[in-house]
């Protein structure tokens, strides 16, 4: 799969490290909280190297949450080479120290038959593929995520739901827009867990890309009547802020949608220019290209999330770029 999210990191700031360790001496929980904030720049200066080093120090002081976060950094390859065995071992340490989330993740790993790095590599790399069309390429993967894992992601995301946003082509950044009326739960890397990182690694394998080209993952929820009107996932270079985004982080080239539940009517993903409407079974994934062979955005991939007419719809949405993404 190539590189993972090993974004070039400067060495930790020795003076800052000393200051924090002195300030939080005997309080590894506070050190962990600061570490995860500065790792991604959440209400704090962004310094992944310092954040990772502080996590390691808090873990040496047996902070359970620090071990849980270290499990994620190992699974995602954040600031270090990706390593499933280190992730599994750190998760076990967190669970043994009483971390409830880590214990729940270990139970999920057991249900997936994952006890070692070899198990994780095998699980992320085997799936059934059904090619729907060649150009643009659309592939469906039946049973991509087990139903228990789908339910896990829904339960994890329900309390995090907020009004979904769109990229603002005029001003940059994100904004609420009437074209998207559903809710979503967006996850920074520090908000994910080992189970979600396994799902992301499986998506990367299905899409044939490196793990570090994946944007932060979102879990989407559509109540009855909620929709995402026709849109494209790629950035159009003629729009100023889209051009800036492409220079900074690259083009969006692929999308993966994993359908997490059944029991609703309507709610298809509609591709009107292709005459294709897709509604996956629970656990099924759809991976499609957003650009052509020349790398230019393909307007034929215009699509909409149609509203459920009965019940609620859940899916995992994963955008994929053409190059490595920063830690976010």
- Residue 230 neighbours by CB under 8 Å, 6+ apart: 270, 272, 302, 303, 304
Question: What span, in angstroms and rounded, lies between the C-alpha atoms of 325 and 80?
Answer: 15
Q: Where are the chain's structural domains?
A: 14-112, 127-321
- Quick one: DSSP state of residue 294? T
* Residue 35: how many other CB atoms lie within 10 Å: 30
14-112 has CATH 1.25.40.10 classification: yes
* Residue 208: how many other CB atoms lie within 10 Å: 11
Sign of the C-alpha dihedral, residues 232, 237, 240, 244? positive
Bridge partners (DSSP) of residue 141 are: 129, 285
The values of phi and psi at residue 211, to 5°, are: -60, -35
Bridge partners (DSSP) of residue 128 are: 142
Whole-prediction pTM: 0.94
Give, in order, the Cα–Cα distances in Å from 281 to each of 10, 142, 286: 45, 8, 10
Question: What span, in angstroms and rounded, lies between the C-alpha atoms of 72 and 216?
Answer: 14
Question: What span, in angstroms and rounded, lies between the C-alpha atoms of 16 and 240?
Answer: 38
Q: Are 88 and 102 in contact (CB under 8 A)?
A: no
CA angle centred on 59, ends 216 and 158, rounded to 5°: 35
Do domains 14-112 and 127-321 share one topology? The answer is no
Check whether the bond before 136 is cis (ω within 30° of 0). Answer: yes
| Superfamily of the domain at 127-321 | q2cbj1_9rhob like domain (2.60.120.620)
- Nearest CA to 239 out of 165, 291, 171 is that of 171
The ranges of the chain with pLDDT < 50 are: 1-3
pLDDT at 143: 95
pLDDT at 168: 78
């Amino acid at each position: 799969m190539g590189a993972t999210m090993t974004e070039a990191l400067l060495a930790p700031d020795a003076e800052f490290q000393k200051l924090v360790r002195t300030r939080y001496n005997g309080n590894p929980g506070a050190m962990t909280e600061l570490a995860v904030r500065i790792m991604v720049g959440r209400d704090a200066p962004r310094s992944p190297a310092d954040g990772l080093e502080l996590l390691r120090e808090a873990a040496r002081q047996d902070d359970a949450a620090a071990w849980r976060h270290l499990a994620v950094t190992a699974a995602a390859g954040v600031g270090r080479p990706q390593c499933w065995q280190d992730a599994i071992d750190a998760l076990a340490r967190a669970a043994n120290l009483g971390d409830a989330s880590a214990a729940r993740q270990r139970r999920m790993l057991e249900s997936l038959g994952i006890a070692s790095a070899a198990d994780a590599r095998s699980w992320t790399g085997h799936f059934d593929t059904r090619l729907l069309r060649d150009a643009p390429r659309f592939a469906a993967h039946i049973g991509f995520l087990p139903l228990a894992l789908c339910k896990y992601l829904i339960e994890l995301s329900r309390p995090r739901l907020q009004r979904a946003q769109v990229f603002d082509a005029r001003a940059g950044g994100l904004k609420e827009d009437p074209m998207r009326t559903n809710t979503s739960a967006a996850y920074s890397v520090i908000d994910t867990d080992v189970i979600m990182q396994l799902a992301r690694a499986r998506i990367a394998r299905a899409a044939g890309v490196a793990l570090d080209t994946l944007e932060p993952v979102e879990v989407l929820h559509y109540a009855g009547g909620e929709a995402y009107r026709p849109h494209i996932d790629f950035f159009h270079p003629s729009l100023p802020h889209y051009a800036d985004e492409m220079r900074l982080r690259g083009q969006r080239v692929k999308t993966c949608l994993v359908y997490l539940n059944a029991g609703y009517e309507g709610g298809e993903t509609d591709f009107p220019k292709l005459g294709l409407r897709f509604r996956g079974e629970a656990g099924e994934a759809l991976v499609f290209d957003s650009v052509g062979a020349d790398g230019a955005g393909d307007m034929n991939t215009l699509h909409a999330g149609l509203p459920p007419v009965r019940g609620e719809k859940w899916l995992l949405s994963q955008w994929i770029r053409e190059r490595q993404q920063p830690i976010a």
